[in-house]
Amino acid sequence: MSLILHDLQPLHWALAGVAIAGVTLALLLIGSRRLGLSTGFEDVCSLVLPAPYFRRAAVLSGRGWRLPLLAGLVLGGFLSAVLGGGWEPTWALGMFDRAIGLGPAGKLVWMFVGGLFIGFGTRLAGGCTSGHGIFGLANLEFPSLLSTISFMAAGIVTTQIVYRVLFPLVGAP
Amino acid sequence: MTLIYVALGTVFGFVLSRSGAADYDVIQGMFLFTELQLYGIIAVAVAVTAPGIWLIKRRGRTLAGRPIAIELKPLHRGNVVGGALFGVGWSIAGMCPGPILVNIGEGKVYALAALAGALVGAGVLGSLYPIFQRPFGLPPLKVGTGEG
């Protein structure tokens, strides 16, 4: 399967896994930081929202390293596009376009709704794929095991409903 | 230090972009069991990170000599309920939090809407934290649900 981005062939999974582990361990070894990206949403919220939750030391003290990390993620995606065939704004969405086929306005609504679940869910869970799924599991934390099982199961059920029941895609992907 | 974090984020973002972890089709393929790439990535990442964390903890200090302190995530009902909600969102958007930012960097316009939704979602949870505290057995506000 090739990527939506310029039909590139994906990196080998083992190489990608080692690289992600390398970044995770570098954060710990350099800054005593535990990897966790969804807390970055709180960091951004804390820039504009006055609620006491966003004034906690845990949030304010993390902004100094997490916001630069988040900026790096955007930059990494940008460089990947530039080096992989050029950067240009795109609405391409792979099998979504083939099976569901909403236009730009529909995609924005669809993604906004998905984002609501992601933002609220990850912060209620206390972590996401990185904080629970990678760091938490690797650090043998029980809450992370529960959360990882929960989000994987929910993702499987949702996608099965969307692509096998509601919008079945014949012969693909 | 700021530049180091930007650099680490850039490497992370590039790998997420090129490995399929930020690709809508690869994510759906994972949940459909037709594309096992992501399972391999997560398994290897955890398998390599686990002994690495153990070694760094044993060393006990950062490269600059500061003590290593890892704050553990608290256990509460939100772990499971929030995880399930996040799983639904991951499936709908085909992105988890990091890849939302990676997709924006790649130029995928709709990812901006996913980011907007995620910020609103996180904003609602934080702003109404006291309301969700009891039903989900969440820790005191000072502790929060868990950073990361």
Torsion angle in degrees (nearest 10) through CA of B121, B127, B128, B133: 100
Contact present, B16 and A70 (Cβ < 8 Å): no
Question: Any bridge partners for residue A90, and if so which?
Answer: B108
- Scanning the structure block, which residue is given the tokens 């800054």? A31
Give the pLDDT of residue A171.
Answer: 57
Note the pLDDT of residue A58: 83
* ipTM associated with this complex: 0.97
Residue A172: pLDDT over 70: no
Mean pLDDT, chain B, whole residue set: 96
Determine how many CB atoms are found less than 10 A away from the CB of residue A21. 24
Q: From the DSSP assignment, how many helices (H) and strands (E) are in chain B? A: 7, 0
Q: Say which range, A59-68, B38-47, B87-96, has the weakest mean pLDDT.
A: A59-68
Nearest Cβ partner for A4 among B25, B63, B67: B25
A45, A96, A142 member nearest B122 (Cβ)? A45
Are the Cβ atoms of B95 and A114 closer than 8 angstroms?
A: yes
The better pLDDT of the pair B146, B5 is held by B5
B-facing residues of A in 25-84 (CB < 8 A) are 25-32, 34-42, 44-45, 49, 51-54, 56-59, 62, 64-66, 68-81, 84
Q: pLDDT value at position B148?
A: 62
Give me the residues of B, 3-22, that contact A with CB < 8 A: 3-22
H helices present in A51-103, as ranges: 57-60, 63-83, 95-99
Cα distance between residue A111 and residue B75, in whole Å? 30
**Sequence-distant contacts of B56-62: CB under 8 A, at least 24 apart:** B56/A25, B56/A28, B56/A29, B62/A28, B62/A29, B62/A30, B62/A31, B62/A32
**Span A157-165, average pLDDT:** 97
Determine what percent of chain B is predicted with pLDDT higher than 70: 99
- Whole-model pTM? 0.96
Query: Could you tell me how many helices (H) and strands (E) chain A has, helices first?
Result: 8, 0
Inspect the interface and report whether the beta carbons of A136 and B34 lie closer than 8 Å.
no
Residue A61 corresponds to which tokens in the numbers above? 């003290």
Minimum-distance CB partner of A45 among B13, B25, B126: B126
Quote the pLDDT of residue A169.
78
Q: Is A152 on the interface with B (CB under 8 A)?
A: yes
CA dist A20 and A88 (Å) reads 26
Listed in sequence order, the residues at least 6 apart from B5 whose beta carbon sits closer than 8 Å to its beta carbon are: A27, A31, A65, A66, A68, A69, A72
Tokens of A26: 């570098």
> Quick check: B58 contacting A, CB < 8 Å?
no
